[in-house]
Structure 1
């Protein structure tokens, strides 16, 4: 039979010659074809691309300050190159070991504590009715939007030596009051609790969204087999949430060398006596920058934090790929 369509029968729309996919192996021609074919979508994405370019990528030119001795009269590009000299500021500092130790241990604690509590709350929310879930979600999520400056004032209302709620309760029970801002040990517990209170709502919402995406067929089959709620949590929900847990853990490791400046600066009120347990890299560099005006060292530390975060994420992802390739981030 002939492949020529009969007269009067439409053969369908033909692709314009300019949009036909090139048969040659020239990658540039293929990319140009894809751009022309999706030009409407690219045009819609253009504002977002420009915003990301201006906000995130153009300022990265300033990273060269980490390798220069910056002078205002010479500008960024005219200042003298000093190599890795600016990075000595962090490692030769008298308190280098303390601030690096605090940054790593606090961040690791925040990641694990928030992950464990968020998973537990997400599992509990999944057992509630729809109306109650909305109430608890809003209650848990509200602290996430409160600025750290306001959190510092809330902390002061609890920890103030004279009128703080905690000391008022201790006095009521005849116990000894504390000047919390001049002590070191209590902050080992206060800071993780504040970080948990502020961040647990967002993480819970992410895990709960993952749970709602699990097919109900698994749970119905488990009920028919006589499985309890705890068994369904441990043998259905948690295993199916494993990829999401791993991804969030890897992303959290990206900031393990970069502390929460607002939490460690505003909540402890930047008081010297509690520095041994509250000081981290970010607060230390901020004080050095404001007192000494050392832009070069601050830029070097910020650059180092980003590099360490990148290395940590890539390394963690490689480990996950070796153990379970399907659950790797990339």
Structure 2
């Protein structure tokens, strides 16, 4: 009987090859897949653009508007640090450092305009969401769709009126001789006519009323869209537990729309030094007697520009307002993030 021996080296090499072959095959296939992914990733951007071309075309007008009106003018911030000489142009005008900023703080009206701007805007930031959310919840309870749309349209209409129109509507109500309030309300009661445009004490009440009347419709529509987006199952479960409408609003509606309220509040804080120019200039009809309660940073800078003709000072005021607003937004957003990350703006 003969016995055949296989060399151990040959046996081991056979097993080594048999074990390595699948591994090498998988490696090569992985390399091919990686190369294919890299090749496809180069085409991904173009494919995405082609796929979303209609959405991009729709977005283009808004993007162009933002570039022209919000980003390109940023190059003009250099004007705030120059004494503009029109004969040599902006770029060749001499640098003056922070001298253009001094006129805001050295003027005798600095405290008045800063106080008025901050107090009015703080009032608007606090009061507007309260009223708008209330109206949004009430409109959401209107089951008649035609009635709901009618109420929305009536509330939204003043938002589209220009400040000039609003100013003369106010004049038709407040005119000393021909105003509706003096001739149709006070006179029949035997009361003396009030010179509304000569008495500053009334305007801290008049201006907020006008602002809310004009802008509350816009805010209400935003909050109404948020309320409508709440899942109806929450309310059905609350009804099964016997919750009243008030309890539903407090426990369901407000917590669900809280991120929207906070985001809009953050955006409003960023404009706390930017007053509504039309409200404070057109509605009081630029009456000098009302400056103690109607003069804000924007109207003061506008009058200074008309008097002095120095665009460097007005640019400095605008840059100051934007810088303070930017810092405030970052600060408030940081505070919000500590309590609720999902409610923060970024």
Length-normalised TM-score, structure 2: 0.85
1:161 has 2:176 as partner = yes
Following superposition, the deviation at residue 46 of structure 1 comes to 5.1
Q: Does 1:252 align with 2:268?
A: yes
Map 1:54-203 onto structure 2 (within 5 A): 54-129=68-143, 130-168=145-183, 169-203=185-219
Question: Is this contact kept in 2: 1:65–1:299, CA < 8 A?
Answer: yes
Aligned to 1:20: 40
Gap change, CA 1:187 and 1:228, over 3 Å in 2: same
Q: Distance in 1 between matches of 2:245 and 2:37?
A: 61
Secondary structure of the structure 2 residue equivalent to 1:291: helix
Spell out, residue by residue over 1:240-287, the C-alpha distance to the aligned partner (whole angstroms, 9 max, x if none): 111111111111111100101000000011111110000000000000
Query: CA–CA distance in 2 between the matches of 1:124 and 1:17?
Result: 54
Residue 38 in 1 paired to residue 48 in 2? yes
Shift of 1:311: 1.0
Show CA shifts across 1:76-124 (max 9, x none): 1110111111000101111000000000000111121111111111111
Q: Measure the CA separation in 2 of the matches of 1:139 and 1:287.
A: 35
Q: Which of structures 1 and 2 has the bigger CA Rg?
A: 2
Question: What is the CA distance between 1:51 and its match in structure 2?
Answer: 3.9
- Per-residue deviation at 1:215? 0.5
- Runs of 4+ displaced beyond 6 Å: 15-18
Superposed displacement of residue 292, structure 1: 1.2
Distance 1:134 1:254 in 2: 32
Q: Which residue of 2 aligns with 1:211?
A: 227
CA displacement at 1:314 relative to structure 2 = 1.1
Q: Matched residues in 2 for 1:55 and 1:114: separation?
A: 27
Q: 1:89 to 1:197 in 2, by over 3 A?
A: same
Structure 1 residue 56: deviation in Å?
2.2
Which residue of 220, 227, 234 corresponds with 2:250? 234
Q: Following the alignment from structure 1 to structure 2, what is the Cα–Cα distance between the partners of residues 282 and 314? A: 23
Contact 1:62 1:76 in 2 (8 A): no
Please identify which structure carries the higher helix content: 2
Give the Cα–Cα distance (whole angstroms) in 2 for the partners of residues 51 and 159 of structure 1.
39
Unaligned runs of 5+ in 2: 1-21, 23-34
Q: CA RMSD in A?
A: 1.9
For residues 61 and 70 of structure 1, what CA distance do their matches in structure 2 show? 15
Secondary structure of 2:242's counterpart equals coil
CA distance in structure 1 between the partners assigned to 2:61 and 2:268 by the alignment: 29
Partner deviation per Cα, 1:188-236 (whole Å, 9 max, x = no partner): 1000000000000001111111000000000011111111111111111
Q: Distance in 1 between matches of 2:148 and 2:105?
A: 48
- Of stretches 122-131 and 142-151 in structure 1, the one that deviates more from structure 2 is 122-131
Q: CA deviation at 1:49?
A: 3.7
Aligned residues: 307
Contact 1:259 1:280 in 2 (8 A): yes
- Give TM-score, length-normalised by structure 1: 0.89
